[in-house]
Amino acid sequence: EVELLESGGGFVQPGGSLRLSCAASGFSIGNFAMSWVRQTPGKGLEWVSSISATGERTYYTETVKGRFTISRDNSKNTVELEMNSLKDDDTALYYCAKEPVLYYYDNWVDPWGQGTQVTVSS
Amino acid sequence: QSVVTQPPSASATPGQTVTISCSGSSSNVGSNYVYWYQQIPGTAPKLVIFRNNQRPSGVPDRFTGSKIGNSASLAISGLRSEDEAAYYCAAWDDTLKGRVFGGGTKLTVL
């Protein structure tokens, strides 16, 4: 069964850092791009970042560029999201999700993990 | 606000057909595929329609996607209590060069 399990969320003060991890099972992530999508009650679902299958291309939504870094270790079947200079607006449930092809483009994401909560507050 | 808009809520009784709309622009819905996700409370989103009108294996044929111009729709026929969920449309946006989601529609089965 294809599964994704996120970890690393928590409570952090503005300006702080967190590192999220996504462990995949049931498939090899090396054949697929991977993405992070976040969800808040007020703003709904928002795509955050994606990384191509081999890691040579990374993509970010404008609001996190320069603060977040996505990476992957295909040998460990994991994807990570390093989040720095966190702001209140980054508070959300962060989902890891699988893209169906090598690169992030006009496609769907499925499946999604269960999410890890990030709360940024003073 | 999202560049792709959905009504915040919809409701219908069991057995009826409900249609959820998704309105965008020529840079997203009008020129790219539309995807639909179902999110049952407390769970992660699940893909129910891809490439405008294709159903993943395991999704009942009661779920039908369609698109005309800058608008798309998800129709659910023979409504069942287990269909009660939030439904989100998504599309690639050529201007933003990224995936955009609608704000979601909460479906209540009365």
Q: Judge contact between B37 and B88, C-beta under 8 A.
A: yes
Task: Give pLDDT, residue B19.
Answer: 98
Q: Which residues of A touch B27 (CB under 8 A)?
A: none
Segments of chain A with pLDDT less than 70: none
pLDDT of B2 above 90: no
pLDDT in tens, A30-65: 999 999 999 998 778 999 999 999 999 999 999 999
- How many residues appear in chain A? 122
pLDDT in tens, B35-86: 999 999 999 999 999 999 999 999 999 999 999 999 999 999 999 999 999 9
Nearest CA in chain B to A40: B103
Cβ pair A115:B44 closer than 8 A:
yes
Which regions of B50-84 does DSSP assign to beta strands (E)? 63-68, 71-76
Task: Give pLDDT, residue A103.
Answer: 86
Cβ pair B101:A44 closer than 8 A:
yes
Peptide bond into A100 cis (omega under 30): no
pLDDT in tens, B86-103: 999 999 999 999 999 999
Q: CB contacts < 8 Å between A and B, how many? A: 51
Task: Give pLDDT, residue A100.
Answer: 92
Cβ–Cβ contact B81 with A under 8 A: no
* Nearest Cβ partner for B44 among A59, A104, A114: A114
pLDDT of B1 above 80: no
Q: How far is CA A119 from CA A96, B65, B75, in A?
A: 17, 36, 36
